[in-house]
């Protein structure tokens, strides 16, 4: 297991009108040091604070490795490159198969912890001009993941992420995606998710609701922007 990963890029952005919507998905590179607080990178914003950002979604990391797949699948005359998914961190060699829920990384002065997979939404459809992009991303579990900040501090693209802790019986991000999105009402899978004590509160609440009601929440608005 590789314990240190150097980043390809670090990005932050402001909310503005882009791709026909109010969003901060269009981010710019951070060249040097930047402060990371529990809310995220200094100067980074999000338009929809109910579904993005917050203490358990302070950072989004997306594998650079996946852009080749998207380029091959859609073959559009666009630049499939970071930070096209609105990611704060771009990486090579870290994927949903090697990163686990609850993993803690030292990054410069800060410590960050994987809290959940990213839940793809319709803003990605707008960004790429592909109506069902978010649905396909979710289906193949190439969603990236989110972090909470355990310790604030100065960070940099030049400083590696160093894995310092992995909880026993941790699910990979890919496994968590497959259970939550691929088999959303299967009780054994829901119980596995519920037992991930570092999984974000919002995901745990949805898991508990499914176990209690046997019903799946409506994904249409998240995927398509309408009911």
Are 117 and 84 a contacting pair, CB within 8 Å? no
Q: What pLDDT does residue 203 have?
A: 98
Provide the H-helix boundaries in 122-214. 122-128, 133-140, 173-177, 187-194, 201-213
Q: What pLDDT does residue 53 have?
A: 81
78-129 pLDDT, tens digit each: 889 999 999 999 999 999 999 999 999 999 999 999 999 999 999 999 999 9
CA-to-CA distance for 4 and 20, rounded, in angstroms? 39
Confidence category of residue 1, pLDDT binned at 50, 70, 90: low
Is residue 194 pLDDT above 80, yes or no?
yes
CA-to-CA distance for 221 and 57, rounded, in angstroms? 20
| CATH of range 4-167; options 3.30.530.20, 2.40.33.20, 2.60.90.10, 2.40.110.10 | 2.40.33.20
The domain segmentation of the chain, as residue ranges, is 4-167
CA-to-CA distance for 192 and 189, rounded, in angstroms? 5
């Amino acid at each position: 297991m590789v314990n240190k990963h150097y980043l390809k890029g670090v990005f932050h952005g402001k909310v503005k009108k882009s791709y026909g919507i109010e969003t901060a998905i269009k981010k710019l590179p951070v060249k040097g040091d930047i402060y990371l607080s529990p809310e995220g990178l200094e100067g980074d914003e999000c338009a929809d604070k109910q579904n993005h950002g917050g203490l358990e979604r302070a950072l989004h990391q997306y594998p650079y490795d996946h852009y080749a797949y998207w380029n091959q699948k859609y073959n559009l005359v666009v630049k499939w490159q970071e930070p096209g998914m609105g990611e704060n961190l771009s990486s090579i060699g870290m994927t949903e198969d090697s990163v686990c829920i609850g993993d803690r990384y030292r990054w410069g002065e800060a410590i960050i912890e994987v809290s959940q997979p990213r839940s793809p939404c319709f803003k990605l459809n707008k960004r790429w001009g592909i109506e069902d992009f978010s649905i396909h991303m979710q289906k193949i579990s190439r969603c990236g993941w989110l972090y909470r900040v355990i310790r604030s501090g100065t960070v940099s693209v030049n400083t590696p992420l160093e894995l310092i802790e992995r909880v026993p019986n941790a699910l990979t991000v890919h496994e968590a995606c497959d259970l939550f999105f691929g088999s959303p009402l299967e009780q054994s899978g829901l119980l596995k998710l519920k037992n991930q004590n570092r999984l974000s509160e919002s995901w745990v609440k949805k898991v508990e609701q499914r176990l209690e009601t046997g019903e799946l929440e409506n994904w249409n608005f998240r995927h398509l922007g309408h009911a």
